Structure 1
Amino acid sequence: MYLLFEGIDTCGKTTQLNLIADKFANAITTREPGGTAFGQHAREILLQDSLHSKRAELLLFLADRAEHYAQIVKPNRDKLILSDRGFLSGIGYALANGDFDFEHLLELNQFALEEQFPDLIILFQTTMETLRERTSAEDKELDGIELRGLEYLMSVQHHMRESLEKLDIPYLLVDATDTINNIHENIVMRINRMLQNQAN
């Protein structure tokens, strides 16, 4: 069972993924980009925000996604896979960058994923106020993408939500301003229900 934890930077998705991984001991945790050796190199380039071409950025994300699916997801599809980001982030960021349309991006991602989408997308949604507080924290070092600004990140979140509603994929919307415990319990409940349905 392949689950995506999606959302913009500082929304708390990584914290929740780690809590879920502790709850389900046999779960496989991974991330995009960075879940493979190739992905680590791609991640360094992408977080530096050094590419001049938005098309090059998109294609690098897609190359990482294809390698990640082939190496991590496909061989372990019968297990619980928890991925920190995935194709929805790719679509959201690409749409926020402009010059791309949803249908074209969907086709490219279908190709990268061998037309095998996740079983559940968990989308964390935050507010501008919370985003401002978390990105301005003294110990928070911003990467190149975060330095594009708060409005850019909120635009990414908008495109993620809009894209999610166009897809025929089960999803769970999470209020990222809720307590860590409440969010955790809601996610655990949804996963347990899916595992039970899978067993029946």
Structure 2
Amino acid sequence: MYVALEGIDGVGKSTQIELLKRNFKEAIFCFEPGNTALGEKLREILLESRLQICKNAELLLFLADRAQHFEEVIKPNSHELIITDRSLISNLAYAKDFDMNFVLELNSFVLKGFLPHKCVFLEANEKLILQRFQGRNLDKIEQRGIGYFLELQNRFKEVLELLKTRFHLEFLIINADNEKEKIYNKIKEFIND
């Protein structure tokens, strides 16, 4: 089973992944972008470099990372429990200036049709987003501002509904403002269900 943890930056995905590692010791844990040698370089270009990257190039660089990640991490472990911090769901949400069906086709091409079976979406309100970003060294995407991230959350929900309708994706939306142990227990129950 392939499970994705999703949400905008700062909602606690990484924290939940660390908690899940305690309970799912046999699972393959991974993240996007940057989980391969190529991915590390692409992540640096996408999030940390001073290069100005046009929207088309940004989309294709994220897809290049996903293609390599699929070949090196997902495909060899496709019969295991895979828990990932981000997936094509993020790509469909963050590529909000593109037609969703077009981005889905590109992702289907690089993933050879292997999509997450379940998704946990951590949702944050404006106050929590501002709180999590305060005092943090923001990457290039995080610097786009609160309005951008609130818009992204709506796009995420559209993506989840599309994938549920087309591919029977099961998803769970959790308030990221809950206590981390409470969130963890909901996620654990959802994965085990």
Q: TM-score range by the shorter chain?
A: over 0.9
How many angstroms apart in 2 are the aligned matches of 1:163 and 1:6? 11
Do structure 1's residue 146 and structure 2's residue 142 form an aligned pair? yes
Aligned to 1:67: 68
Among all aligned residue pairs of Structure 1 and Structure 2, give the percentage whose two residues are the same amino acid: 40
Q: Secondary structure at the match of 1:44?
A: helix
The CA deviation string for residues 89-145 of structure 1, in whole angstroms up to 9 with x for no partner, is 1111110xx2x1111111111111101111111111100111011111x3x211111
Structure 2 segments unaligned to the other structure (5+ residues) = none
TM-score (norm 2): 0.94
How does the TM-score come out when normalised to structure 1?
0.91
For structure 1, the residue ranges without an aligned partner over 5 or more in a row are: 194-200
Q: What is the CA–CA distance in structure 1 between the aligned matches of 2:185 and 2:117, rounded to whole Å?
A: 19
Show CA shifts across 1:52-95 (max 9, x none). Answer: 31000000001111111111011101111111111011111110
Contact 1:21–1:82 (8 Å) recurs in 2 = no
Number of the residue aligned with 1:30: 30
Query: Is structure 2 residue 95 aligned with structure 1 residue 94?
Result: yes
Matches within 5 A, 1:8-157: 8-48=8-48, 50-95=51-96, 98=97, 100-136=98-134, 138=135, 140-157=136-153
For the aligned residue pairs, the C-alpha RMSD in angstroms reads 1.1
What amino acid does structure 2 have at the position aligned with 1:91? L
Paired amino acid for 1:130? L
Name the CA distance, whole Å, in 1 between partners of 2:160 and 2:106: 16
Give the 3 Å change call, closer, same or farther, for CA 51–115 of structure 1 in structure 2.
farther
Matched to 2:101, the amino acid is E
User: SS where residue 35 of structure 1 aligns?
Assistant: coil
